Amino acid sequence: MYKKKLLTIAIITILLLTLLCGCTAPPELTVQVDTDSALNDEEIAAAVEMIVEEFTAISAIPRSSGNEQAIADYICQRLLDLGYQPQRDALHNIIVDIPASAEYADSPLTVIHTHLDMFCVAAEGVEYDPLTDAVTLLNDGETLSADNTSLGADNGVGMAMALYLLRAELPHGPLRLIFTSNGEGDMSGAAAISAERLSDVTYVINLDAKSDDTLTIGASAEQTLTATAALNPTAPKKNTAVRISVGGLQGGYATSESSESRLNAVLLLANILADLQSQNILFELAQLQGGSEPNTTPHTASALIVIDAAEELILSHQISQYQEQLPLTYAASEPGITVSYEKVELPSLVMSTSERNNLLNFILLSPEGQQSVSAADGLVNSATLYNVQISATQAGFDRNLRSSHTLLLGQALLRQQRLAEQCLLTAVSSDAIPVWPAAADNQLQLITAEVYADLYGEQMQTLVAYGGSELGFFAAKNSALQMISIGPSISGTHSPLESVTLSSIGKTVQLLQTTLSNI
């Protein structure tokens, strides 16, 4: 307890000296931490084994967003088995209070936060029903991955790590574990956590970060726009039906990695269709679809068109040109890109020419990817078309908008609404995910960064995340909260290539345990 008093006195002294000196910008703050209680190599190995055991059990339970009753049942039972009394609401949010160890009774209340659901996607051609099928884990001794599906390390490893803390009975101050629902969707679980459950909290440690050497300290705002239209179909006037498909793209989680020129399969396909029009292939459109999940760039897309039989030779030539040129154009970022077509059964209905043009215009003229970068914090302001489902009778689009500033987010949303109106679409927007503002006086950030430097002999990177965070809802309910997000190194997030290294799990749990012993 003596070291905690010294820590507080040191920080207050630095702040007072800064004010007395009349400095316009405070010097970089440092804290003293004690890492003598850190886990040794044998204890880290045991911790990783325990976390993998918990994660394996979690992975056996289907837990797509909105399908969280079973995983909530499981987590509640695990908490009961460990001797705790969880509380659960109608959305399947789970909250449980954990008493402090005796020597940490005077420590401030800290929330450990994870979400229950996972993003579910399978590799092309793999049968996988996220409502009923478990995730099959592959463990090669160094890395965890899944058998041709997304892994769910985001945020399954976070849940497993929270359960490990209780099983290992490591010393800590008073904790409140919060497991929220729909964290990969509209974050309605976090939005429903009452301000009362956060009013007595000082620190929040979220376990949803994706890199073991990076400390997330804030996040941008985020909003979804859904545009729809009822169409007036007619019978096709042409005689040859063709399905054009785009595949082999990376897709996956739409983070700051968008700067790597990750392609959107829907947008690429719309460009191909527009190019066919420029070659005087005046096709009729019966279907266009691609993507489905929020925050995720579509990696496949397909369109069903109807042409005259005489136009097939020109179409075949254009598709061959794309298949030859696209892999060369995007060799660095999309080496597996494919474009193909096949003749299919003639559909009974197609959309009108004007409706076809309006829908293609909405795709082609909507902003996509990075739009600007904030000079203040370096955050990307962006838009992603993540879901398109068009048939001859109806059309639906979902767009994800992100910005570091609420004003810019509102302006981007207004532009999208105006474009939707011009294309005769009805646009509806979701409630915005609030900004999680980075705080200049975040003591938890200082402590965690110093623990990391002491443990690993290097500085931890800091990140203000591109994309909404559940912690934005927490910040909106208690602006005094000091919050961070940490986590193991996960690659290929939200894709069938998702994996997590076992060493980074050990590194993260070591950081978490030692940080808790210093607050």
Task: Work out the angle between the directed axes of helices 312-329 and 265-278 (0-180°, nearest 10).
Answer: 140
Q: Is the pLDDT of residue 9 over 60?
A: no
Mean pLDDT, the chain, as a whole number? 89
Q: Is 441 exposed, middle or buried (0-12, 13-18, 19+ CB in 10 A)?
A: exposed
Quote the CA–CA distance of 217 and 443 in Å, as a whole number. 11
Instruction: Of 363, 434, 435, 370, give the one whose Cα is nearest residue 399.
Output: 363
What are the Cα distances from residue 300, in Å, to 232, 294, 332, 386, 455? 27, 15, 18, 11, 43
Q: What CA dihedral angle connects 412, 417, 420 and 425, to 10 degrees?
A: 150
> Which tens digits make up the pLDDT trace of 206-228?
999 999 999 999 998 889 999 99
Q: Which stretches within 221-311 are classed as H helix?
A: 265-278
pLDDT band at 32 (very low <50, low <70, confident <90, very high): confident
Which residues on neighbouring strands pair with residue 387, listed in sequence order? 291, 398
Q: Where are the alpha helices (DSSP H) in 171-264?
A: 188-192, 196-199
Residue 374 clears pLDDT 50, i.e. is over it: yes
Length of the chain, in residues: 519
For 40-47, what is the mean pLDDT?
96
Question: Which amino acid would we find at residue 26?
Answer: P
Question: DSSP string covering 50-107, please?
Answer: HHHHHHHHHHTS--BTT--HHHHHHHHHHHHHTT---EE-TT--EEEEEPPPGGGTTS
CB 175 within 8 A of CB 111: yes
Cβ-contact 248, 339 below 8 angstroms: no
Candidates 519, 511, 516, 442; CA nearest to 482 is 442
Give the pLDDT of residue 378: 58
Q: What torsion do the CA atoms of 118, 123, 126, 127 make, to the nearest 10 degrees? A: 20
What DSSP string describes 221-237?
EEEEEEEEEE---B--S
* DSSP 8-state class, residue 431: P
pLDDT at residue 11, as a whole number = 45
Number of neighbours of residue 279 by Cβ within 10 angstroms: 12
pLDDT over 90 at 465, yes or no: no
The string over 395-406, giving b where at least 16 C-beta atoms fall within 10 Å of a residue's C-beta and e elsewhere, is bebbbbbbbbbe
C-alpha distance from residue 179 to each of 71, 322, 362, 473, 493 (Å): 10, 46, 38, 14, 20
Percentage above 70 pLDDT, the chain: 90
pLDDT for 368 beyond 90: no
Contact 369, 435 (CB under 8 A): no
Cα torsion 135, 138, 139, 142: sign: negative
**Alpha helical stretches, state H, 251-346:** 265-278, 312-329
Question: Over the range 343-372, which residues count as b (16 or more CB within 10 Å of their CB) and which as e?
Answer: eeeebebbbeeebbebbbebbeebbbbebe
Q: What is the pTM of this model?
A: 0.77
pLDDT of residue 37: 83
